[in-house]
Structure 1
Amino acid sequence: LQYGLMCPPHGKFGSIILYIMMLFILWGVLWAITGDEALPGGNLFALLVLWVCAVIGGAAITLIKLPPLLGMLLVGMMLRNAPYINVAKDIDQPWSLALRDIAFTVILIRAGLGLDAEALRKLKIACLRLAFISCVIECIAAAIISVLLLDFPWVFGIMLGFVLGAVSPAVIVSSMLNLHGKGYGVNKGIPTLVIAAASVDDVIAITGFSVALGIGFSTGNVMHVI
């Protein structure tokens, strides 16, 4: 404790003070440049609070040996659904949609940069089987169950199936890149296979959902929508 409270502060105590000062400096710069957007109720203030809480939640859940992404997801769910907390609700929908598209693009770029071209060339057929068969079967199963149990129309059942059948690239890509960096499964190309299959799976799910959505809400010729 004496070492940490020395002037200047040392160790973890000094790091905590440094991070807090950087956070306030960042907020001050945003306030000076954007004005009300960096104040409570603004988009930038809500994004800054959301990011800080997500980082704290990810660091806290690692204390019980769980992935940081799980803690970030739990923090996001709490900020979005907890009563009297309007931080996440202050983010405008255009900002939210743009940030989600940017995040998805960055994840897919990371996935592409982390692929092994030689392993992908050898496992291309297995990659297509893993992507197509799993996504289509999950979609069909979810559609049938939703139609029989929930009395959904077939089009809405198919849309629900593609939503449930899509994998999470944020989980798959980061986990496989971590395993690839540690050397697990590299000789057999397993990280490359899973990353490529997950990317193709998402493309299939997004395409199928878009087509089903267009068919469900179309008023003209269905062939024009397809």
Structure 2
Amino acid sequence: MDEVSAERMEEPPVAPRKASREARRLQLIEATIDTLATEGYSRTTLTNVAARAGLSHGLVIFHFQSKEGLLTETLLYLAEEYRQNWRRAVAAAGESPAAQLSALIGADFLPEICNPVRLSAWCAFWGEAQSRPIYQQKCGSNDLDYIHALEDICARLVETGGYAGDASRIARILRVTIEGVWLDLMIMNTPFDRQDGLKTVFTCAAAFFPAHFTEDGLAKPEG
């Protein structure tokens, strides 16, 4: 018997009950996201989440104890999904600040992140006064990580590209442009789609970094 086979034999088997437990928890969180998108924050209940998931009310209580617990865990799930998405994009972009900025902007408009259901769920959290303390307490550090990363990228691009302007202010304008486009996309009958929203943000980037960006993203090098 080779070493690899021996190691595999020594690995403990995955506990079916534990795997099922995690799958049920994720199923309920996804059902909560769907419910928030259609019902809003205040009208989301344990009962309609359970019905949407096709599971029992008691199972929701077992996993989350209360509506507040369910909504808090759903918010944390969305926040972590968002954080991993932009960090993965920036890490894959290499060392170029222009490429990193393009990746960071593009990450906010990937279909798995920027879709009607998830945008509406985010809107439900943002729009309810009672959700703000939860958001600030649970997600504030993630927001700061994003802001600092965006400011650092803009600062390096200003320096290496020989641009004028305050990097932190440029980063702020880019961030509020992204948030504004997201809010527009949440509204029914908005006159543009996700791809046009992405072009809108790249147009903003091109206003500050014209040698590096166009409305279509990174400018092609000459020659």
- Structure with max Cα Rg: 1
Task: Give the TM interval when normalised to the shorter protein.
Answer: under 0.3
> Larger relative CO (CA 8 A, sep 6+): 1 or 2?
2
The TM-score with structure 2 as length reference comes to 0.27
* Bigger share in helix: 1
The TM-score with structure 1 as length reference comes to 0.27
